[in-house]
C-alpha cells in the first residue's frame, strides 16, 4: 500500500508539474499571439507609403504562388516562417502599375541563390518587366552568381551587373533520378506494379536500377524544350543568338568576372555597394557610396508595392462574375468539402466549390488555374464531373495551366472549353499506375510475422504482408486498364481528337506546353490573364463583368493577412536543401490516398538545375 501511495503521489506530482509547465508555455504562446494581434491591429489596412523617385525592388527569391497561401496561426506563436502573400497576379499587376507610376523611377532585379517563381510564372512576369522598360524606366539587375533561370529574367535589364568574384552559369540543364530497386531487394521490400503507358515512369525508381529507354527519351525531349526556351528568352534581349549561348554551354559552362562582360552577358562588373550607388543616383540621393547596402536607397519591395495596387478586374462594378478558381498542389481523395489545406487539392472541396459556382446565377464563366502534378484518379474524376456540369449549365470553363498541369492535373483540364499554357508548362503524362509493396521478407529478417483469417480468396488483395498472385495482378491490371481507357476517352472528347491519336501521344508521356500545343493537347499559349480574356469572350460579356477569385479566404485569414506576411524564401545550404527535398517527397507520399491505390501522377518532381 505504501508503495502504491508513493507511486500514485509521484505520478500525481508529475502530472501537476506537466500541467503547470504546459500552462506556462501556452500562456507564453498566448501572450505572444496577443502581442502580435495587438501590433497587427495598428497595421491592419495600412498600405506602404511610396515616395517620389522610389526604386521598385524585385528580389528573385520572392515566393510567388498562384493563390494566397493560408496562414497557420501556430506560426504566430512559434515564430516559424509564414507563407508568401504575393501571388502571381498581384506581382504582374504591380509591375504593370509601376510602369506608369511617376513615383517609381527604376526597377531593381536583385539576384538570389534561390528563385521563388517557377518557369511558367516567370513567363507571365517577363512581359510586364518588358513593359516597364518600354515606358522609358531603367531596369537594373545584380547578383554574385547568375543561374540560367535567374538570367532568363535578368536578361531583360538595361544593365546587368556581375560581382567581380562571381560568375554566370550557362552550362545547360540536367535531370537525374535515384533508382532504388537493388536497395529495396536487399532490405527485403518487394514491389509489384500495375501501369499503362510506356512512358509512365513514376514506378521505375522502385523497380529498376537504371533509366528506361522511354524515360530517357521523354526526359531528354522535355529538358530540350525547356532549355531552348531559356536560350531564346535570355539571348534575344542581349542581341545574342541561342546558338552563341549553346556554344558557351558546350565549351565553357561558366563565365567568370570580366569574361562575362566581354561576351555580352553582363554590362558591368561591380560590387553591390557600387550598384547601390548607381541606384542612389537614380533616386537623387547622391553619388556617395551607401553605408548600408541593403537599405540605404529609396526603395519598396515588389510585395510592398503590390499592397498599394488595386486590382482593376476585381474592383469593377458588375453583376456578371468571372470566377477564377485556383487548383494548386497534388490531388487527393476526400476532404471535408471545404478548402482546408494550402497546396493540396481535395477532390470534394474543389468539386463543392465548382458546384456552388454553377448554381450561382451571377457567375457567367469559370477560369480554372491548374498547377498540379496530379494524384488520386478517383478525386480527379469527381472534379472533372463538376466541370462537365458547369459547362452543361451554359457557363464556359477555361483552364490556365501554371508551372505543371500533368496526369490528374491534365485529367481535370481535358474537357474545358479552352486550355492555355506557357511554353515551359509541364503537362500531359496521360497514364495510370498502381504500386503494391510486399513487406513479408523484411518482416522475416527482423523477426516479424503476420497471420490472419478471411472470408473469400480475394479479401486480402491489398495486403502488404505478402506478394500478389498472378491472378490478383491480372485483376488489378484490369482496373488500371479501365481507368486509362477512360482517360483516353475524356481527352479525345475534350480535345476533339481521335482516340487512336490520343493513344499515340499519351502512354504516360510528359510534354512541354509548346509541344502540347503542337499536339493539340493545348489550345493556345498564354497566361492567366489571357485565359480570363478568353473566358470573357466565350461568355460574350463585353466589358460588363468583374473577376472574383476562389477559394475566398475566411475572415480570420483576411485578418491575419492584414499584418502577417513574408516575401523572400529562406536560403539553405546544400545539405539542408537535400534534407528538405526528402521532406517534400515524404509529404507527397502522404497525399497518395486513392481508395483503389490508382494514381494519375506525374513521374517525377521536375526541378531545373
Q: Which of 28, 77, 116, 93 is nearest to 560 (CA)?
A: 77
CB of 422 closer than 8 Å to CB of 557 = no
Q: Which of 293, 291, 294, 289 is nearest to 277 (CA)?
A: 289
Tell me the backbone φ, ψ of residue 404, rounded to 5 degrees.
Answer: -150, 135
Show Cβ contacts of residue 73 under 8 Å, excluding neighbours closer than 6 positions: 33, 560
Q: Is the C-alpha dihedral spanning 360, 363, 369, 373 positive or negative?
A: positive
Say whether 51 sits in a helix, a strand or coil. coil
Q: What whole-number distance in Å separates Cα of residue 482 and Cα of residue 572? A: 44
Sheet containing 345-346: give its strands across.
190-196, 432-438, 598-601, 374-376, 331-332, 345-346
Q: What whole-number distance in Å separates Cα of residue 605 and Cα of residue 585? A: 9
Residue 41, Cβ neighbours under 10 Å: how many? Answer: 12
Residue 474, Cβ neighbours under 10 Å: how many? Answer: 11
Show Cβ contacts of residue 18 under 8 Å, excluding neighbours closer than 6 positions: none
Q: What is the 3-state secondary structure (H, E, C) of 249-307?
A: HHHCCEEECHHHHHCCCCCEECCHHHHHHHHHHHHCCCCCCCCCCCCCCCEEEHHHHHC
Q: What whole-number distance in Å separates Cα of residue 162 and Cα of residue 172? A: 20
Say whether 9 sits in a helix, a strand or coil. helix
470-495 vs 377-392: helix axis angle to the nearest 10? 30
CB of 269 closer than 8 Å to CB of 164 = yes
Q: Which of 67, 147, 400, 407 is catalytic?
A: 407
Phi-psi label, residue 257: left if phi above 0, alpha if psi -120 to 50, beta otherwise: left
Q: What whole-number distance in Å separates Cα of residue 88 and Cα of residue 92? A: 6
200 part of the active site: yes
486 part of the active site: no
Q: DSSP letters along 389-450, please?
A: HHHHTT--EEEEEEEEEETHHHHTTTTSSEEEE-TT-EEE---EEEEEEE-HHHHHHHT---
Q: What whole-number distance in Å separates Cα of residue 546 and Cα of residue 531? A: 14
Residue with cell 520572392: 62
Burial class (CB in 10 A: 0-12, 13-18, 19+), 230: buried
Q: What whole-number distance in Å separates Cα of residue 511 and Cα of residue 220? A: 11
Q: Which of 110, 147, 155, 200 is catalytic?
A: 200
Q: Which of 505, 530, 504 is nearest to 421 (CA)?
A: 530
Return the active site residues. 200, 407
Amino acid at each position: 500500500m505504501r508503495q502504491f501511495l508513493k507511486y500514485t503521489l509521484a505520478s500525481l506530482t508529475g502530472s501537476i508539474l506537466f500541467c503547470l509547465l504546459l500552462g506556462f508555455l501556452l500562456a507564453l504562446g498566448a501572450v505572444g499571439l496577443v502581442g502580435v494581434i495587438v501590433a497587427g491591429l495598428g497595421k491592419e489596412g495600412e498600405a506602404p507609403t511610396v515616395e517620389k523617385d522610389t526604386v521598385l525592388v524585385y528580389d528573385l527569391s520572392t515566393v510567388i504562388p498562384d493563390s494566397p497561401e493560408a496562414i497557420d496561426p501556430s506560426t504566430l506563436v512559434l515564430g516559424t516562417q509564414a507563407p508568401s502573400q504575393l501571388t502571381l497576379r498581384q506581382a504582374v499587376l504591380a509591375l504593370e502599375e509601376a510602369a506608369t507610376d511617376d513615383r517609381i523611377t527604376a526597377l531593381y532585379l536583385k539576384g538570389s541563390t534561390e528563385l521563388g517563381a517557377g518557369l511558367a510564372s516567370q513567363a507571365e512576369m517577363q512581359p510586364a518587366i518588358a513593359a516597364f522598360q518600354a515606358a522609358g524606366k531603367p531596369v537594373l539587375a545584380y547578383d554574385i552568381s547568375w543561374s540560367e533561370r535567374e538570367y532568363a529574367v535578368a536578361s531583360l535589364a538595361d544593365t546587368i551587373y556581375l560581382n567581380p568574384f562571381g560568375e554566370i552559369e550557362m552550362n545547360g540543364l540536367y535531370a537525374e533520378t535515384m533508382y532504388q530497386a537493388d536497395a529495396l531487394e536487399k532490405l527485403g521490400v518487394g514491389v509489384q506494379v500495375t501501369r499503362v503507358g510506356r512512358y509512365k515512369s513514376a514506378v521505375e525508381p522502385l523497380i529498376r536500377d537504371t533509366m528506361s529507354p522511354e524515360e530517357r527519351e521523354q526526359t531528354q525531349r522535355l529538358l530540350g524544350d525547356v532549355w531552348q526556351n531559356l536560350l531564346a528568352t535570355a539571348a534575344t534581349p542581349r542581341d545574342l543568338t541561342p546558338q552563341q549561348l549553346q556554344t558557351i554551354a558546350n565549351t565553357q559552362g561558366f563565365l567568370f568576372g570580366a569574361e562575362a562582360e566581354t561576351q555580352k552577358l553582363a554590362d558591368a562588373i561591380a560590387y553591390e555597394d557600387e550598384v547601390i550607388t548607381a541606384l542612389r543616383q537614380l533616386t537623387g540621393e547622391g553619388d556617395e557610396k551607401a553605408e548600408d547596402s541593403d537599405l540605404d536607397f529609396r526603395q519598396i519591395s515588389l510585395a510592398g508595392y503590390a499592397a498599394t495596387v488595386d486590382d482593376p478586374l476585381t474592383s469593377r462594378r458588375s453583376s456578371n462574375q468571372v470566377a477564377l478558381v485556383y487548383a494548386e498542389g497534388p490531388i487527393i481523395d476526400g476532404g471535408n468539402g471545404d478548402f482546408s489545406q494550402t497546396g493540396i487539392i481535395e477532390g470534394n472541396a474543389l468539386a463543392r466549390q465548382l458546384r456552388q459556382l454553377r448554381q450561382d446565377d451571377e457567375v457567367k464563366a469559370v477560369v480554372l488555374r491548374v498547377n498540379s502534378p496530379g494524384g488520386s484518379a478517383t478525386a480527379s474524376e469527381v472534379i472533372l464531373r463538376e466541370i462537365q456540369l458547369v459547362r452543361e449549365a451554359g457557363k464556359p470553363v477555361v483552364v490556365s495551366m501554371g508551372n505543371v498541369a500533368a496526369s490528374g492535373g491534365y485529367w481535370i483540364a481535358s474537357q474545358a472549353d479552352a486550355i492555355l499554357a506557357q511554353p515551359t508548362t509541364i503537362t500531359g503524362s496521360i497514364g495510370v499506375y498502381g504500386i503494391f509493396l510486399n513487406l513479408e521478407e523484411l518482416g522475416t529478417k527482423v523477426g516479424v510475422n503476420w497471420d490472419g483469417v478471411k472470408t473469400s480468396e480475394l479479401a486480402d488483395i491489398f495486403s502488404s504482408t505478402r506478394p500478389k498472385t498472378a491472378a490478383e495482378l491480372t485483376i488489378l491490371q484490369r482496373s488500371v486498364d479501365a481507368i486509362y481507357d477512360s482517360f483516353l476517352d475524356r481527352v479525345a472528347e475534350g480535345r476533339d481528337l481521335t482516340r487512336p491519336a490520343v493513344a499515340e501521344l499519351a502512354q504516360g508521356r510528359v510534354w512541354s506546353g509548346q509541344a502540347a500545343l503542337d499536339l493539340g493537347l493545348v489550345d493556345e499559349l498564354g497566361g492567366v490573364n489571357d485565359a480570363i480574356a478568353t473566358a470573357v469572350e466565350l461568355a460574350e460579356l463585353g466589358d460588363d463583368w468583374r473577376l472574383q477569385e476562389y477559394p475566398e479566404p475566411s475572415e480570420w485569414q483576411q485578418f491575419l493577412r492584414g499584418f502577417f506576411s513574408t516575401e523572400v524564401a529562406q536560403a539553405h545550404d546544400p545539405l539542408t536543401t537535400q534534407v528538405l527535398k526528402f521532406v517534400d517527397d515524404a509529404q507527397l507520399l502522404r497525399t497518395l490516398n486513392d481508395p483503389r491505390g490508382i494514381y494519375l501522377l506525374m513521374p517525377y518532381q521536375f526541378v531545373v538545375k
